Amino acid sequence: MSDFNFLMLHAKFAGFKLLVTANRVGFEDEFSKMLHDRLLAGLDGAIDLTRHIIALQRELIAEDDTDGVISCQLQVEEEILANHAIILLDELEIGYETNEYRVNGGEWHNALSADCDGIEIRYPTTVSVSEMEIGSLATIIRDIARETGIAISIARVV
- At 153 the pLDDT is 94
Q: What is the pTM of this model?
A: 0.84
Residue 150: count of CB within 10 angstroms of its CB: 23
pLDDT digits (tens, 9 = 90+) for 41-85: 999 999 999 999 999 999 888 888 778 888 999 999 999 999 999
Residue 16 CA to its chain's centroid (Å)? 14
Nearest-angstrom CA–CA distance, 10 and 17: 11
Residue 60: count of CB within 10 angstroms of its CB: 16
- At 114 the pLDDT is 85
Instruction: Quote the Cα angle for 115-118-121, to 5°.
Output: 90
Q: Burial level of 85, CB count in 10 A (0-12/13-18/19+)? A: exposed
96: left (phi over 0), alpha (psi -120 to 50) or beta: alpha
pLDDT digits (tens, 9 = 90+) for 84-129: 999 999 999 999 999 999 999 999 999 998 888 888 999 999 999 9
Number of helices and strands (H, E) in the chain? 5, 9
